[in-house]
């Protein structure tokens, strides 16, 4: 299956008229473009892949992906799309793991413009999520939760957060997931972090101090937190691949145009093989990343046992190809690429994808473990 051209084009034009217009201001000010976020929600972005019984359009994640690609191409703000990834992962988890009663409560705001976060990382580290220290205790009407989360996309601005924490009373396998209303008493949002890139995707810490959660804040079964989070993260991971391919498309167009117009040694630089090599590498980065990401989505939707591995491959390839692809553009531009501006910013933003959503090393580790698990599956 392929994403709908009609949906992609609709959201491309919309993002060009909204996200792209405010991207530079939001980047400078380190804030999420809430206006575009709301506009996209009003337009139906989050309803595209939601079942009709919950107010959605009854489509699939392919429809969301078409829109997501359109926003990456028209908006040209990697950070804004990273924000969309964070929200999409949360939506997928809620859809799969919440009961119909929970969905009635939590889903409507999430598809109408609320901002979601998925909070795993803590001050002691992000890769080894099983070391999480955030801790909940059961009380008569629900839970009380305490903890500190760091480097969370939307941490300083989210309305609702999916929080990984422990529930020690259930024994050793106690890692569980909770939905936290970020406006509840005891939630203290930190300052937006001073990251070197993706500054339009506000990322930062928050602290939970004796926050009272209702009983229906528990997602899935107690103790199933890690399994649910790996599932959530699978969609996030392949979205990095989809994003890389879409985001590089207009970069390739710009770079081709520049190479045609820039003259050196009497000829346009596009005539030189070393430059052509950079351009062909960019084209191949787009096509290979897109192919593996689409394959990963197909596998995820069909519950194929290889889905987890393919999602990690999509994430790994997406982040690496984004880094090398933006670097090709940067180098073809010569000194102009090194000036403060969009070409240098693209490269700096791309580096963030090597860390966010799990580092490149952790993707390799996951791919290797999955290879062993599926007994030498060929990829
Ligand atoms: C833009 C951005 C957005 C983010 N958004 C979120 C978010 O929404 N939610 C969230 O929970 N977190 C988020 N993070 C945090 C991110 O998930 C973590 O930074 C990441 O998981 C790495 O954790 P760490 O920084 O603590 O590095 P560490 O875990 O301390 O790792 C340090 C280095 O050691 C390597 N390493 C660690 N263990 C191994 C191993 N077993 N084998 C090989 N190498 C290893 C790592 O790959 C890395 O290179 C975000 C980060 C960024 C940059």
Q: Domain-by-domain residue ranges, the chain?
A: 5-114, 117-222, 226-373
Confidence of residue 2 (pLDDT cuts 50, 70, 90): confident
Residue-level pLDDT at 343: 97
CATH number of this structure's domain 117-222 = 2.40.110.10
Question: Using CA atoms, how far apart are residues 226 and 4, in angstroms rounded to an integer?
Answer: 33
Among 223, 238, 219, which residue's Cα sits nearest to residue 107?
219
Q: Whose CA is nearest to atom 53 of ligand 1?
A: 356
Most ligand 1 atoms within 8 A of CB, residue of 163, 359, 364, 368 to mutate: 359
Q: Whose CA is nearest to atom 30 of ligand 1?
A: 125
CATH number of this structure's domain 5-114 = 1.10.540.10
Q: Are 49 and 4 in contact (CB under 8 A)?
A: no
Ligand 1 atom having least distance to the Cα of 362 = 47
Residue 149, both tokens: 């989360």
In this prediction, residues 111-123 reach a mean pLDDT of: 97
What are the distances in angstroms from CA 231 to CA 97, 181, 358, 360? 10, 22, 13, 18
In this prediction, residues 11-19 reach a mean pLDDT of: 98
DSSP secondary structure, 303-346, as one string: T-TTHHHHHHHHHHHHHHHHHHHHHHHHHHTTHHHHSTTHHHHH
Mean of pLDDT over the chain: 96
Q: Tell me: domain 226-373, CATH 3.10.180.10, correct?
A: no
Which conformational region is residue 316 in: left (phi greater than 0), alpha (psi within -120 to 50 degrees), or beta? alpha
pLDDT above 70 (res 378): no
Question: Using CA atoms, how far apart are residues 107 and 114, in angstroms rounded to an integer?
Answer: 10
pLDDT above 90 (res 230): no
Higher pLDDT, 147 or 55: 147
In this prediction, residues 207-233 reach a mean pLDDT of: 94
Choose the most confident range, by mean pLDDT, from 48-62, 90-104, 320-334.
320-334
Residue-level pLDDT at 376: 56
In this prediction, residues 232-250 reach a mean pLDDT of: 96
Question: Using CA atoms, how far apart are residues 89 and 84, in angstroms rounded to an integer?
Answer: 9
Ligand 1 atom having least distance to the Cα of 357 = 17
Confidence of residue 1 (pLDDT cuts 50, 70, 90): confident
Residue-level pLDDT at 379: 47
Longest pairwise C-alpha distance within the chain? 80
Residue-level pLDDT at 116: 97
Residues touching ligand 1 (Cβ under 6 Å) are: 86, 117-121, 125-127, 151-153, 198, 203, 352, 355-356, 358-359, 361-362, 365
Tell me if domain 5-114 and domain 117-222 are identical in fold: no
pLDDT tens per residue across span 60-113: 999 999 999 999 999 999 999 999 999 999 999 999 999 999 999 999 999 999
Residue-level pLDDT at 302: 95
Q: Whose CA is nearest to atom 52 of ligand 1?
A: 356
pLDDT above 50 (res 159): yes
Ligand 1 atom having least distance to the Cα of 153 = 8
Question: Using CA atoms, how far apart are residues 187 and 207, in angstroms rounded to an integer?
Answer: 6
Confidence of residue 231 (pLDDT cuts 50, 70, 90): confident
Most ligand 1 atoms within 8 A of CB, residue of 78, 81, 118, 127 to mutate: 127
Residue-level pLDDT at 347: 98
């Amino acid at each position: 299956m392929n994403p709908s051209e009609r949906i992609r084009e609709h959201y491309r034009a919309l993002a060009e008229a909204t996200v792209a217009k405010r991207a530079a201001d939001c980047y400078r000010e380190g804030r999420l473009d809430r206006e575009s976020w709301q506009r996209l929600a009003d337009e139906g972005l989050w309803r595209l892949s939601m079942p009709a019984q919950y107010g959605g359009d009854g489509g699939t994640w392919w429809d969301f992906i078409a829109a997501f690609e359109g926003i990456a191409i028209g908006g040209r703000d990697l950070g804004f799309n990273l924000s969309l990834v964070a929200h999409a992962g949360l939506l997928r988890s809620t859809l799969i793991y919440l009961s119909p009663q929970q969905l009635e409560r939590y889903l409507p705001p999430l598809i109408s413009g609320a901002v979601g976060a998925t909070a795993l990382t803590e001050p002691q580290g992000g890769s080894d999520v099983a070391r999480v220290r955030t801790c909940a205790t059961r009380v008569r009407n629900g839970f009380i939760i305490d903890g500190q989360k760091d480097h969370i996309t939307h941490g300083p601005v989210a309305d609702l957060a999916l929080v990984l924490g422990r529930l020690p009373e259930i024994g050793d396998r106690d890692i569980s997931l909770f939905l936290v209303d970020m406006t509840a008493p005891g939630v203290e949002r930190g300052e937006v972090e001073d990251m070197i890139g993706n500054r339009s995707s506000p990322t930062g810490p928050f602290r939970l101090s004796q926050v009272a959660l209702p009983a229906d804040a528990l997602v899935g079964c107690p103790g199933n937190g890690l399994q649910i989070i790996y599932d959530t993260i699978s969609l996030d991971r392949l979205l990095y691949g989809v994003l890389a391919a879409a985001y590089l498309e207009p970069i390739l167009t710009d770079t081709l145009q520049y190479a045609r117009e820039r003259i050196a040694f009497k000829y346009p630089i596009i005539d030189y093989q070393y430059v052509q090599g950079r351009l062909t590498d960019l084209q191949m980065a787009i096509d290979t990343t897109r192919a593996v990401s689409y394959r990963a989505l197909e596998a995820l939707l069909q519950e194929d046992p290889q889905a987890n591995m393919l999602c990690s491959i999509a994430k790994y390839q997406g982040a690496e190809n984004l880094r090398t692809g933006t670097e090709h553009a940067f180098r073809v531009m010569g000194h102009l690429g090194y000036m403060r501006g969009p070409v240098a910013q693209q490269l700096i933003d791309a580096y963030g994808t090597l860390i966010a959503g799990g580092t490149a090393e952790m993707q390799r580790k996951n791919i290797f473990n999955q290879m062993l698990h599926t007994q030498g599956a060929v990829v």
